[in-house]
A and B are shown apart, each in its own frame.
Chain A
Amino acid sequence: MLTAAAECTGLQSWLEPSQADQSTPRVLTILSSVLEKLVARNDRLIEECTSQALDGLSGGLSGPRVGRNLSAFQGVRAPSISIAKYLERLYKYSSCSPSCFVVGYVYIDRLLHKYPDSLVVSLNVHRLVVTSVMVASKMLDDVHYNNAFYARVGGLSNSELNRLELELLFLLDFGVVVSSGVFEIYCLHLEREMLVTGSCQKIEKVLDLNDVTEISVEDTNTVSVVD
């Protein structure tokens, strides 16, 4: 079924680690670049809105433009780890199939279509990514890690990730099925995104994570250690 989606698209090679970097499938670099661009744009948007809002009702963080639907994913401050490194980290430790990242991206996109006033910003992108990739992996991979593991890799608490999982499932109305046709369209879309911006070469190589064993996406000072 879904796992087969990758195969039938003929994009298998695209999903596998690129020649340049044996450990990182190209989809990760493309996806992180797409998300980074999006976040940068939306962050700027929010900033402008906030500076214009003289009364400063909600201090910008949960300002009206962000929309309330993604509020569960909103942190108080942005995690220090970059999106690229975060994706790489998820991939490295969870060993989920690269297709999970495409499907996770589909979920995020579905959210945004469904709740058009929602914005992916630096405060929610990490949580959105880890939750959607985890759910995608539950859907796609017959063998996958549990939530507790993803929580440790993702740097949030088990209970928060569980809650975000439910939040995502309900926001999506449990629309977690991605047909092979849709999968292929999204792959092509991601590909095109790279061609349009021509930034393919500019992507800085994702840093080696070997020395980064602790991250936290949580607002609290709790640090999750992955060993």
Chain B
Amino acid sequence: MAIAAPGQLNLHESPSWGSRSVDCFEKLEQIGEGTYGQVYMAREIKTGEIVALKKIRMDNEREGFPITAIREIKILKKLHHENVIKLKEIVTSPGPEKDEQGRPGKYLLRMRNGNKYKGGIYMVFEYMDHDLTGLADRPGMRFSVPQIKCYMRQLLTGLHYCHVNQVLHRDIKGSNLLIDNEGNLKLADFGLARSFSNDHNANLTNRVITLWYRPPELLLGTTKYGPAVDMWSVGCIFAELLHGKPIFPGKDEPEQLNKIFELCGAPDEVNWPGVSKIPWYNNLKPTRPMKRRLREVFRHFDRHALELLERMLTLDPSQRISAKDALDAEYFWTDPLPCDPKSLPKYESSHEFQTKKKRQQQRQHEETAKRQKLQHPQQHGRLPPIQQSGQAHAQMRPGPNQPPMHGSQAPVAAGPSHHYGKPRGPSGGPGRYPPSGNPGGGYTHQNRGGQGGGSGYSSGPYPPQGRGAPYGSSGMPGAAPRGGGGSGYGVGAPNYPQNGPYGGSNAGRGSNMMGGNRNQQYGWQQ
């Protein structure tokens, strides 16, 4: 009995999600801690297929179902592409009955409905072994030029697909680029993504994208933006792959902007018409003249690489290269050509077969590494790509023509490098982080973390934009339900205190889990 006659409006049929229980899967290991819950590697019992289960945390009663999760689900539902992570289904868990003040009416109601969501809701993703940052941070890891081209091309292909489908990712960074052992790269973590419309300049929040990858227009406070914001992030990643370390590791927004200006020059009405009308331009504009030094700083880069990078790291978003045009860049069509993903080395995944002993050893090692990282938070031990110089570590020498390198992995970097929604840090939308003085920006919470402090977070969520406030408006920012430093991790999985064997992304940048916990503690859900 429909109220609206036009039945043809609802033609799209899809398999019913949420009909299966999480019991269809056997959890194997926890592999990460996301902004809204833990991530497990699991095996589907019936088929034996390995998947990643991302638990949606629902412990903030006042907010209900997390909007990031709704966004991610609705967006992934419409995106189907080999370079975009596939959301296979959503499963539920009845879980233990929790008492909610034991009102009889509700009790009856609950019984009637079977209460099938009480134990939690899980998103089921295809399993990916690594993420780009985790992979790049393996000791001794060097990507070859064809490999970098291969990853970059896949990144741009996936992003072009998103943009064509009018989806802005808004959190492009290495740890959100998942890589499997077939060499495939997929965009993941669409919790900040949103649809956009070409014709309508709606006001969007500028509180997106992890600080180090955030474009100047967002840092200057624009609320009208488009796909170019993602392209800036791509440029940062591209440069990072070539350079061997992040190029704009700002601690807070002003410093971030300054680092950008130092490399890309100061914006003015000539190189960026309209920049002076952007909300915070007058407060944040550079105090001294700065000229663009990109070509000078990266003069050792390949000519075509530099050319492409120039067009990605263009200050004026309207002049910045699009994903489509980037794919047509000379860089991808000159020797050495991008390699076939399948020819890339397989970096061994050890999680399933790891012995407890190995785990402990690794943990010790990681803790040592973490301590070192904590002392030197800004040091990134990554190496620039092969080709230019010798290697510090010989364990990994991936190249297009080499066979898979089983067993050759570096001792520390066991385990795949996972992501599936690792802490995203303060990038997360409105209300996720304090207005300023945010040490380490996106990365305090990040796997690179190590900024130690995270002190900026104690100030609670960013002031809501206007009344109401979507995030954290419940007025319990860092407070409680999760409490205790978001210790769900340690509690749930005693074997994985701070860094699991799934050190994964954590490998080599030990403090990931710490970052994760911190993030959890201050996440908007709380």
Task: Tell me the A residues contacting B by CB distance below 8 Å.
Answer: 1-4, 7-8, 34-35, 38, 42, 71-72, 76, 95, 105, 108-110, 112-114, 116, 118-120, 134-135, 138-139, 141-149, 157-163, 165-167, 169-170, 173-177, 180, 182, 185-186, 189, 218-220, 222
Beyond contacts A38-B3, A173-B17: 13 other A-B pairs, Cβ-Cβ < 8 A, are: A76-B105, A105-B4, A113-B7, A145-B468, A146-B63, A149-B468, A165-B65, A169-B70, A170-B92, A175-B77, A185-B6, A189-B4, A220-B105
The reply to whether B64 and A176 form a contact with Cβ atoms under 8 Å apart is no
Q: How many residues of B contact A (CB 8 A)?
A: 61
**Chain B residue with minimal CB distance to A39?**
B3
Contact of B474 among A138, A148, A157 (CB under 8 A): A148
Residues of B within 8 A of A114 (CB): 10
Docked pose: A112 CA to B6 CA in angstroms: 12
Indicate whether A158 sits within 8 Å of B6 (C-beta atoms), given known contacts A176-B74, A220-B103.
Answer: no
Q: Which secondary structure dominates chain B's binding surface?
A: loop
Indicate whether A160 sits within 8 Å of B106 (C-beta atoms), given known contacts A4-B197, A4-B202, A145-B468.
Answer: yes
Q: Nearest-CB distance from A125 to chain B (Å)?
A: 11
Residues of B within 8 A of A218 (CB): 105
Residues of A within 8 A of B469 (CB): 143
Indicate whether A1 sits within 8 Å of B10 (C-beta atoms), given known contacts A157-B106, A189-B4.
Answer: no
Question: Does B62 sit at the interface, judged by CB under 8 A?
Answer: yes
Residues of A within 8 A of B110 (CB): 163
Residues of B within 8 A of A158 (CB): 61-62
The reply to whether A1 and B202 form a contact with Cβ atoms under 8 Å apart is yes
Question: Does B288 sit at the interface, judged by CB under 8 A?
Answer: no
Residues of A within 8 A of B73 (CB): 174
Contact of B3 among A109, A141, A143, A175 (CB under 8 A): A109
B429-455 contact mask (Cβ, 8 Å, vs A): 1 or 0:
010000000000000000000000000
Q: Nearest-CB distance from B65 to chain A (Å)?
A: 5
Indicate whether A148 sits within 8 Å of B62 (C-beta atoms), given known contacts A166-B117, A174-B70.
Answer: yes
The reply to whether B105 and A143 form a contact with Cβ atoms under 8 Å apart is no
Q: Nearest-CB distance from A145 to chain B (Å)?
A: 5
Docked pose: A125 CA to B5 CA in angstroms: 19
B166-200 contact mask (Cβ, 8 Å, vs A): 1 or 0:
10000000000000000000000000001111011
Docked pose: A40 CA to B2 CA in angstroms: 14
Docked pose: A211 CA to B204 CA in angstroms: 37
